[in-house]
Structure 1
Amino acid sequence: MTRPHTARRRRHRVIVPLALAAALIAGTVGAHALDQPDPTDPGFLSPVATDDDGGSRLADALRARGVTVQRETGLLPALLDLDNGPATLFVPAPQLLHPDTLGALGELPAGRRLLLVDPSRRVLESAGLPLVPTERRWATRAVGPDTDGRPCPLPEATRAGVAAAQLQRYAAAPGAPVALDRCYSAGLVRLPGRAELMVIGASDPFRNDRIAEQGNEALGTGLLGVHGRVVWLDLDGPAPAPTFGRTGGSGEPAWSPTPGGATEYDGGGTGTGEGEGRPGGPGTSTGDGSDDSPDSAGPPPPDDHPLLDAFPPWFWALLIQLALVALLIVLWRARRLGPPVTEPLPVEVRAAETVLGRARLYRRARARGPTAATLRTAALGRLRGRLDLPATLAPAELAVRVAGRTGDDPEQIRELLYGAAPETDAALLELARSLDRLTRTVAAAPGRPTEGDPR
């Protein structure tokens, strides 16, 4: 019959490793989630953001190639900028757009290109685009444009070569009679048409922290610089619902000019094709991504905690993971398995054998001094216990007390108990015999300590 404490011990042998494995898995998942960029964070792929998830390095690379970068903080001003000529509308965070405005993405003028970064199924359906997301990887993978065996028809991807573009894959919507151009194992797809639609499932080729790896910079600049002008939609948060000036001919709401040549758009401000009225104050966007007005930079960034910003997110995730592991170890070591039980010793060693073995070690090392100190310490302990003497008693006084019991010379007793270390084995043996004789004499002497002796 299995005893209760044995059963509990077996359960702990199973539960503790499983708990540790669960903690490691949870910590790994949490660390991965913290390490992934969040498109809803302010500054994500912004042409003026210089942090790891920003896009300032991509904007500088485009300008170095002669590409004009126009930064807009509202969808309506960005769409109006497309009326000024061929350009690429870059939407790095399409999930921040309001569902009521996504339909405008599918009705761009001819000769324009739309590039969406990692759009969700809701965004694609709301925009009326015949695409659906399919498989998604755990982490972005750097692959070649024709990794899946299909030749890539996009010259921008062919020139870039290997790039980190395989994270989210896309395919044509079921029942949609469209022919897609696929690259990077469907991580980058193009839908030809009146306005060219391109969807890429990874943000790595555009981010500051990954743009210098392999062909990421060549891919990002190639996709955005085909027309020589980029309208960069830089949203700092979810866009509000639009307001409309009047209804269209079909009775449905439509954006329309209001008196004075402006266009009403709640959250996007009033703007013209030149980029007036964006959130943050009036101004005109320029090719270098800056505005003439000092108020065009938008609202000030929120205050960040200096300690949190001093370390990357993966550091805090690792710290939390280590804390969980330490907590589990503490709980495991502090467990109660019931009352102690006696168990037979695996090996029994007699005390005489232990003493003999230790003495041989001392002899082999020629450690006469430590051996004599050990013998004298043991003898002093027995003498103090027999005579009831305190441990703080001076050597001379102790020798007098011992001599009073044995009748020997106090100076000889002091030399025996506190003298120099023996120089030969014979002297050490004589010291051991003398100490043994002294302790036996004190133990055999009758009487108790005399009156006035300290206790």
Structure 2
Amino acid sequence: MSVTVGTPPTSLRTRLAGWTAIGLGIVAVGAIGATLSGIGEWTQSGLLDPDSNGPNGTRALVEVLRDHAVDVQVVRNHADAERELNSAPATLVLLDTPGLSDERLLQIAGAADDIVLVDPRSRTLDLLVDGSTAAGYAPDESVAPACSLDAAQRSGAITPGALFAPSLGGESCYPAGEGWALVTAEHADGTTVAIDAQVLFTNQYLADNGNAALAINLMGGNDRLVWYIPDPDDTDLANTDPSLGELTPPWVSPVIVLLLVSGLAAAIWRGRRFGPLVAERLPVTVRASETTEGRARMYAASRDARHAADQLRIAAIGRLARVLHLGAHADARDVAEAAASITESDRVNVRRILLDDAPTTDAELVALSEQLRQLEDAVQTAVRPERNSS
């Protein structure tokens, strides 16, 4: 028997499988990221939405108002809001409207009888509540109305969130921290109220304290209610922001095209051509017996009995594992335990032969080799007694 020394061919199938696994991993990570991003966007889009049953929506409040004979109209653009308000007297529930100009916001507010700002921001407070401003957040505790406003007096205590610094002419209720949880201002046709509805009127908090009563008292004063929750594209502002193309110098695009063409040409010119796999044969042939004898001479010359014993043990353990049907990769301790059990031998002695003995002389090495041979014969006899008897 002879062994040919050569360079083993690289498996194209293995390389393709590796790149396929990497590609699938990238796709999976992207899909998970898109899913999580979509969940986050869905959660934000349902904030104070009258059609949302989620914890941040206000579907429960709308149903309660309708049970109290209030006609609730949900609109999602400023044209519909203005049309509904001009058709009959109504209360306007208004979220933050960053897409509307000051003029259009004042025009919509002017068409309403009463206004309830449920997500008041600085601009809305300044325009509709006579210059009121934000004043931080309240501590987590119930607060009594402490004002003469009938809607607050009949509702009782609440646990407010955002606070506001009131204007000089309006009524303020629920004092906490450095401000008030509810501020009002009078306008020509009625009253404007600002309150943080995210911690009071959403589905999650509506049943707490006097939240539901306060919401009904503030929003149920008229037979009709227009709930204006603007869509992301609801705006009357012209887009004056320059595009990326307008900001880019004219010479950039030709340069990018030139670089891409150059890179493609270089890839074609210098790229590796994939052909059939070829096994390279080297002109040296070494017999298996010569390899074994040469390694034996090296061990003998080095007087390394322990290393030689390890090689004998490794070979014996492998053969025993196959005979005992433990598999080629079985642990040496498991092999020793199985060999001792099937031969009814002393487990400590078998473990000493297969694992623990450390010969230092040639005589001890020969003795260990004989013990290994005897152990293998005993296992063979125990596993196949009929074969050995014949």
What is the TM-score normalised by the length of structure 1?
Answer: 0.42
Structure having the larger proportion of residues in helix: 2
What is the TM-score normalised by the length of structure 2?
Answer: 0.48
